[in-house]
Amino acid sequence: MTAQLSKKSEAWSARFSEPVSDLVKRYTASVFFDKRLAEFDIQGSLAHADMLAEQNIISRQDLQDIQRGMAQIQSEIAAGQFEWLLDLEDVHLNIEKRLTELVGDAGKRLHTGRSRNDQVATDIRLYLRHAIDDISGLLRELRLALTDLAEQHADTILPGFTHMQVAQPVTFGHHMLAYVEMFGRDAERMADCRKRVNRLPLGAAALAGTTFPIDRERVAATLGFDDVCRNSLDAVSDRDFAIEFCAAAALVMTHVSRMSEELVIWMSPRVGFIDIADRFCTGSSIMPQKKNPDVPELARGKTGRVNGHLIALLTLMKGQPLAYNKDNQEDKEPLFDTVDTVTDTLRIFADMARGITVRPDAMRAAAFQGYATATDLADYLVKKGLPFRDAHEAVAHAVRACVDRGCDLADLSLEDLRQFSSLVADDVFQVLTLEGSVAARDHVGGTAPNQVRAAIARVRAELG
């Protein structure tokens, strides 16, 4: 077996009477995308070797040789000098072959008590745990950037919309805090997902465990896992954690896409609520006046990409019997691309949020266009004793009159307003101002400026 392994560079070559065809090699190889797992493969191998030595399965000298060889491999990879070979199929066999070249038999003993099945499952979990930690940090940065923007505009009036129609006045700060809440839930989901990622499969071997006296808890502690996977069959075949991450990532991108849609609309000259810094925009090859919000547009598009990866992984797993199947090689590219897409998007959005210029005058003018204080007038009448449905009807008539006259509710005289209800008095005009409207929503979760500032304080306390 040793001679065959050296000659054909395949871990199973003695079993076969003919070599794998070049077409099959290219079709089944994963090394050119799973090599990004190299750092985590080495981490797992070093922890495994440490345990093997502690359990007297390999010698202390073997452990030292493995550690020395792995250090050399890490240096070669970091320097771009490591030779990745298609014939060796994946990251694991490439590293194992190079280790054996460097340290001889100690490298061949490293795989004792494990399989590539539990090895790759461990590598992916280590990789994904690291990615989740990065994404969680980026979500924090984005929330802080949006919180800063909210604080600057806690008093800035913005028309709130339902059905894309002017509904009631809110503040721009309150609007930004809605996204802070969304991305906060995303951070919670990532943290919860991390708990299930952070379980060690190593020790399950191919599917049934191993006959060697291994110490899985030691390996888990060395690698910072919270627990070990409790069933060897499940340990090597489970990809729930990757699917769960992609689902959480799809929600992150959904929130990014919703925000992107608003930024694109708000930046349109016909709306003009905001401007986005030039470094996040591009021009046109033919129209010299154009300034296109390419970043939010592209983020909106990339959301479909991440959603597609989630469906791909769900489809990948739905028909697999226990335990490991070659299908699972297809889990990596969707997962890697999801991590890359979410990471890049969050990083650029946190920066872009600090490059948003708000145009309060345009927002205020828009708030006057849709009778945004109509509900305030209805509430005013209710407080005077009129049943809400009657108040609703009275204000609807008032709005109809304003539409006919081409004016706002605040433009009507006291005499005009009393035509719709005799309960109207001089104090009515206090509730018809935009400032009065937002200030009246003075409760937790409301748009009153002092509530916006209280919410900002809570976010800052949470984020530290």
Mean pLDDT of the chain: 94
Q: Is 92 assigned a catalytic role?
A: no
Of the pLDDT bands very low, low, confident and very high (cuts 50, 70, 90), residue 416 is: very high
Active-site residue (options: 6, 59, 75, 284): 284
Residue 18, pLDDT score:
79
Torsion over CA: 185, 189, 194, 195 (sign): positive
What is the pTM for the complete model shown?
0.93
Residue 369, pLDDT score:
87
Please report which helix (H) or strand (E) contains residue 167, including its range.
strand 165-171
pLDDT tens across 196-233, in order? 999 999 999 999 999 999 999 999 999 999 999 999 99
Q: Is 284 assigned a catalytic role?
A: yes
At residue 6, does pLDDT exceed 90?
no
pLDDT tens across 284-324, in order? 889 988 899 999 999 999 999 999 999 999 999 999 999 99
d(CA 207, CA 386): 73
Of the pLDDT bands very low, low, confident and very high (cuts 50, 70, 90), residue 11 is: low
Percent of the chain surpassing pLDDT 70: 97
Residue 25, pLDDT score:
76
d(CA 421, CA 341): 57
Active-site residue (options: 163, 285, 413, 443): 163
Residue 239, pLDDT score:
97
Closest CA to 175 of 463, 449, 462: 449
Backbone angles phi, psi at 357, to 5 degrees: -105, 125
Domains of the chain: 2-112 (1.10.275.10), 117-364 (1.20.200.10), 370-463 (1.10.40.30)
At residue 370, does pLDDT exceed 90?
no
Alpha helices in 388-448 (DSSP H): 388-405, 414-418, 428-431, 434-440
Backbone angles phi, psi at 185, to 5 degrees: -65, -35
Residue with tokens 């307003």: 417
Residue 205, pLDDT score:
98
d(CA 212, CA 255): 49
At residue 17, does pLDDT exceed 80?
no
